[in-house]
């Protein structure tokens, strides 16, 4: 695997780890929903994840990451549809999709 792709995957891993760090062990949706700073920080990390995935896919379109295209689409939605970002959807991404993505990324690294 090219060094540049590994860099992008590493950036994704760092962003996922950062999201978990921001949330702590409690991981409470109501706390997330009521904390604008926390929401914005997590949204920013999702943007980074999506951009890094986009760059990795540009280097290797056959990169086998489940939902890679949806990850990029989510980044676009958060950035361009900032006024339509839904806390429930973001929380679902955090709860259901990030653990799987982290496993896939770590397998590559």
Q: Which residues form the catalytic set?
A: 75, 80
The whole-angstrom separation of Cα 58 and Cα 60 is 6
The whole-angstrom separation of Cα 80 and Cα 74 is 10
Residue whose pair of structure tokens reads 């896939």 in the numeric block: 104
């Amino acid at each position: 695997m090219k060094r540049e792709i590994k860099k992008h995957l590493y950036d994704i891993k760092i962003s996922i780890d950062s999201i978990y760090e921001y949330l702590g062990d409690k991981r409470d949706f109501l706390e997330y929903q009521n904390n604008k700073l926390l929401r914005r920080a997590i949204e920013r990390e999702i943007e980074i994840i999506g951009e890094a995935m986009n760059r990795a896919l540009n280097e290797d379109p056959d990169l086998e990451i489940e939902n890679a295209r949806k990850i990029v689409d989510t980044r676009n939605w958060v950035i361009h549809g900032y006024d339509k970002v839904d806390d429930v959807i973001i929380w679902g991404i955090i709860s259901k999709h990030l653990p799987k993505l982290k496993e896939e990324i770590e397998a590559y690294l």
